[in-house]
Amino acid sequence: MIIRFMLNNMKKNLDADPSDKLSDVLRDDFGLLSVNSGCNTGRCGGCTVLKDNIPVPACMVRMFSVRNANILTYEYISTTKEFETITKVLEAMGCNFCDFCKHGKMMTIYSLVINSGQLTDKDIYEALSGNICNCTDFQSMAAGIKLAVNAIKRGKRAERR
Amino acid sequence: MQNGDDKTKLIYYTPDNVNGLLKTMNACKSYRLCFDDLNSVDIINKSALNTPLTKAIYPGYISDLSALKRSERYFEIGPELKINELLKKGATVLPPILLRALTECGNPNVRNILSIGGLICAPKIRNSVFAALSILNAKVEIASYTTASLRFMVPIQQLFKEEGLALLPGEMIIKIRIPYEEYDVDYYNEIQDKGTVITFVGTASTFKSSISICKFAIGNWGDEIIRETEIESGLIEQKLPIPEKIIEGWKEKFTDLFTEKYTFFSPYVQKALTNMFTEFLSRL
């Protein structure tokens, strides 16, 4: 059946089986290889995408629930200004993610930074608990995320002036 | 309601309201209700899960099923309300043990997809929420298409029978109602054993330095919730603080349950549950 939805802010009409997994469709039909299917049970966080600006594991989302939704993947967010700021700050803090968790973690961090105000270590730990990988230590990641939130706020204020 | 579209022999419906859903369920007899959080939940019979999916109904677009309402006496939660949304909306109003049980389900990204109705209908996946709801005296409102205006409330403990989910074909949970009650003591703890999670939840209230309400439940890997009403009623009107000798007596009674009734628990789980029960009593 034809499913209409937004993918990376572009309208798409896809003839797909409604019971297909979103992660499979994104990889096979659209060639978005940043969506890594790891555990297929939503535990590893490798396939995290933003569905209406909320991070969800794409392996647990069926195509029938995607109708009229806006799906954002790593390919899109990596072109935004906010992403650039986040990456710079995280690199400065010494956070280098491995290839397995990088895309999923960055999707979660991006949504956390964009959608949240003041963040505590607890908030960050809780949000990142859905991305299982120990390649980077938590303390530097948390510090980097807090700095990124402040940097983006400062940037927005400067733009307004 | 959208018309079903046929591809690879799958007919798929997305009703926009509860009446539309009931009509669709009435019209197509061998349907399967599909949700985000589980591959599919079959309410007709369990064996049909092994047969290929031909008619699917997705109730996720019905706004009535994802609402949270609060009245003077109770909360009403729509079964399709996502758990993270429920945690945000109900952070200050929902009972603490329910909030704790909900936060223990999966990780935050998964909780953006999980719905409370899915957890109730498939407690084998996660039983902590079911245990918490059962001691909060929650009820579910069920709508049925068989008689158009039939909507009835069922205590959540009666939602399961020996053969599984007690819903009949054509019936659908449309609300979960939790009475608004404040308890003096809320206790929640869980342990993991052989890949399963076993939950101990308890609530109690006191009046004039004696116990007026005492309820506890053990959520096990399965459809059943273990409630021991004999011990619960025995503890009511117990003077506070409870002397250590009396706590020891109740502890022995609680331990006896594992040798008489619940022999399937491993010695490690038995010991942990007994400790949790003692801790719960000592908090009163």
CATH of the domain at B191: 3.30.390.50
* Amino acid letter for position A84: E
**Helix (H) or strand (E) run with residue B218 in it:** strand B210-219
Q: How far apart are CA B68 and CA B86, in angstroms?
A: 8
Quote the ipTM score.
Answer: 0.89
Give the distance from residue A122's alpha carbon to the nearest chain B alpha carbon, in angstroms: 13
Taking the C-alpha atoms of B98, B102, B103 and B109 in order, what is their torsion angle to the nearest 10 degrees?
-160
Q: How many domains is chain B partitioned into structurally?
A: 3
Residue B1 belongs to some domain of the structure: no
Interface touch A60/B106, C-beta < 8 Å: no
Q: Are residues B108 and B42 in the same domain?
A: no
Interface touch B108/A55, C-beta < 8 Å: yes
Q: How far apart are CA B284 and CA B282, in angstroms?
A: 5
Domain endpoint, select from B145, B162, B179: B179
Domain endpoint, select from A73, A107, A124: A73
Q: Are residues A88 and A153 in the same domain?
A: yes
Q: How far apart are CA B179 and CA A135, in angstroms?
A: 46
* Closest Cβ opposite residue B109 in set A19, A57, A67: A57
Q: Other C-beta atoms within 10 Å of A124: how many?
A: 22
Interface touch B5/A17, C-beta < 8 Å: no
Q: Is residue B4 predicted with pLDDT exceeding 50?
A: no
Tens digits of per-residue pLDDT, B79-120?
888 889 999 888 888 889 999 988 888 888 988 888 887 777
Q: How far apart are CA B143 and CA B20, in angstroms?
A: 12
Taking the C-alpha atoms of B243, B96, B228 and B204 in order, what is their torsion angle to the nearest 10 degrees?
40
Extract the tokens encoding B112.
Answer: 């953006």
Tens digits of per-residue pLDDT, A103-119?
999 999 999 988 877 88
Q: How far apart are CA A90 and CA A8, in angstroms?
A: 24
Q: Are residues A97 and A133 in the same domain?
A: yes
Mean pLDDT across the stretch A76-80? 93
Residue ranges making up the domain that contains B53:
6-61
* Residue of B107, B111, B115, B125 best to disrupt the A interface, most CBs of A under 10 A: B107
A-to-B residue pairs, Cβ atoms closer than 8 angstroms: 71
Burial class (CB in 10 A: 0-12, 13-18, 19+), A56: buried
Q: Are residues A135 and A98 in the same domain?
A: yes
Q: Is residue B55 predicted with pLDDT exceeding 80?
A: no
Residues A130/A108, Cβ–Cβ less than 8 Å: yes
Q: Is residue A74 predicted with pLDDT exceeding 90?
A: yes
Domain endpoint, select from A45, A73, A101: A73
- Which residues in chain A are contacts of B39 at CB distance < 8 A? 62
pLDDT for position A8: 93
